Amino acid sequence: LARIDEILQVLEIDLVELARMARGGEGGPAELSVEQETVLARDERLLSVFWLLLNGWRFAEIVEEFAITRTELTLALAKFERARLIEWNAGERVRLRVAKDFVWRAGGPVKKAYGQRVTAEFLRSRFAGPLELLRFEARDLSVESAAVLRRRLERLLVEFGQLAEVDSTLPPRSREGVGLLVACRPWAFSVVNALKKRA
C-alpha cells in the first residue's frame, strides 16, 4: 500500500480518484460541496487561482505569468487546503483533493455568482477563428434518439477532459484556454409554436 501511495503521489491522484476512474465514473459526475463552492464564489481571484491549479499550473508558473505575489498565492493555497480542495506539500507542490472532472452544482454558489457572466463572455465572439465553432441545429427526434444524442454529448465532455489531462503535462505557454459549451433540450422556436392550432 505504501508503494501504491508513492506511485499515486507521482501521478498526483489519490485512491478515491483512481477507484472512480476504474469504475468508469459510475454514480454520476462529481461535485464540490456547497461549502467548497462558497469559498470559491466569494472571491473571483480565488476562483481564478483554483482554475489554474485545476488546469495543471504550478506555483512558480502562476507567480511568473500572472499578477499575483508569492504571498497572495500562499494565502490562497492555505484557504484551498482548509476547504479540503487541495493537499499542499513541501516544495510548493499542490495535489487536488477533488476530481478534475467535477461539475459545478446546478443553482449552487458558483453558478449563482458567475453563471450568467461566463455565458455572456463566452458568447461575445463572432466565432470565426481557426479554433472556434458555433452552430445551432434543431430537428425533430424520437425520445430514444434524443437520449442517444445526450449520451454522445456526455462522451464528448469526457473526451474533452481527457485531452486536457494529457496536455496538462505541457508547459503553460504551449497550451491555449478552450471553452466548450454543450447543451441540448426539447425545444421549438416560438415562431413555429405560433403556427400550432390551438385546442
Predicted local distance difference test score (pLDDT) of residue 169: 87
Q: Which helix (H) or strand (E) holds 88?
A: strand 86-89
pLDDT tens figures, 90-109: 889 999 999 888 999 999 99
Question: Do 113 and 41 touch, CB atoms closer than 8 A?
Answer: yes
By C-alpha distance, which of 86, 51, 74 is closest to 179? 51
For the cut 70, the answer to whether the pLDDT of residue 20 exceeds it is: no
Apex CA 45: angle with CA 43 and CA 50, to 5°?
100
% of the chain with per-residue pLDDT over 90: 72
For the cut 80, the answer to whether the pLDDT of residue 147 exceeds it is: yes
- Give the Cα separation of 114 and 166 in Å (integer): 28
Listed range (14-23, 60-69, 159-168, 173-182) with the worst mean pLDDT = 14-23
Predicted local distance difference test score (pLDDT) of residue 21: 61
C-alpha cell at 90: 513541501
Q: Quote the pTM value.
A: 0.79
Question: Do 2 and 85 touch, CB atoms closer than 8 A?
Answer: no
Phi, psi of 94 (to 5 degrees): -120, 135
